[in-house]
């Protein structure tokens, strides 16, 4: 990835933002964007400077991801928050994502992770795409409140990111061996309408049910 490419991508994103004003908001009003992104979305750093060595790579990854996402699916008004938050990062990656609402995506990074740079290069884009799929779903029909709905929402988000970036299933969707996954899917068949369930376990089964 060259400096020239990053500069051109930033220029495209800035131009797009002028045409489609950033409408991302939180509970108190409009959010000041550190970096306007395609589709009227924005990136905000809430890291106290801890992600400084990785900031340029995070910005480039976010620009690329948003350009891919909005070309495939209309999503706007989302604030993507980048935080130095090891507790929210997947240990094997040094980063993680979370979508708490229709207008917000949280990206958590572990600045001390020895693989963070590599993960930003390979995993940040698909993670952003996955979480933005959730945001768009919340903006329309909703995420869903049952075990089955969660498995569908998570599976669709995984497959969206896989298709967009031409990659295989992410590590969280292949964490279970086949016998364990099949046993749990058998249990899930009779409990799909439950509104109280183990969300992390549902997430591990998601790609299997979205095929």
Residue 142 Ramachandran class (φ > 0 left, ψ -120 to 50 alpha, else beta): left
pLDDT, tens digit (0-9, with 9 covering 90-100), for 62-85? 999 999 999 999 999 999 999 999
Distance of alpha carbon 174 from the chain centroid: 18
User: Coil, strand or helix: which one is 95?
Assistant: strand
Question: Could you tell me the sign of the dihedral formed by the alpha carbons of 59, 60, 62, 66, in that order?
Answer: positive
Q: Cα–Cα distance between 168 and 103 in angstroms, integer?
A: 28
Q: pLDDT by residue (tens digit) across 134-177? A: 999 999 999 998 888 888 999 999 999 999 999 999 998 888 89
* Phi, psi dihedrals of residue 79, rounded to the nearest 5°: -95, 120
The Cβ-side half-sphere exposure at 3, using a 13 Å CA radius, reads 0
pLDDT tier at 200, thresholds 50, 70, 90:
low
Confidence bin at 181 (pLDDT 50/70/90): confident
Please give the model's pTM, rounded to 2 decimal places. 0.80
Cα 119 to chain centroid distance, Å, stands at: 13
Quote the strand ranges of 10-149, DSSP E.
25-26, 29-30, 35-37, 41-45, 79-84, 95-101, 104-109
């Amino acid at each position: 990835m060259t400096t020239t490419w990053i500069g051109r991508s930033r220029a495209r994103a800035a131009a797009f933002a002028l045409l489609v004003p950033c409408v991302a908001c939180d509970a108190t009003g409009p959010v000041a964007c550190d970096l306007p992104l395609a589709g009227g979305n924005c990136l905000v750093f809430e890291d106290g400077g801890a992600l400084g060595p990785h900031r340029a790579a995070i910005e480039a990854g976010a620009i690329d991801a948003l350009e891919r996402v909005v070309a495939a699916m209309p999503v706007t008004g989302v604030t993507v928050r980048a935080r130095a938050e090891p507790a929210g990062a997947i240990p094997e990656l040094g980063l993680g994502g979370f979508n708490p609402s229709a207008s917000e995506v949280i990206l958590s990074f572990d600045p001390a992770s020895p693989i963070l740079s590599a993960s930003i290069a390979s995993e940040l884009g698909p993670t952003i795409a996955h979480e933005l799929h959730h945001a768009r779903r919340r903006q329309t029909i909703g995420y869903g409140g049952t075990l089955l709905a969660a498995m569908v929402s998570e599976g669709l988000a995984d497959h969206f990111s896989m298709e967009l970036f031409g990659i295989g299933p992410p590590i969280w969707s292949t964490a279970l061996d086949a016998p364990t996954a099949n046993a749990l899917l058998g249990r899930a068949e009779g409990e799909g309408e439950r509104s109280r369930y183990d969300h992390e376990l549902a997430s591990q089964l998601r790609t299997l049910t979205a095929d």
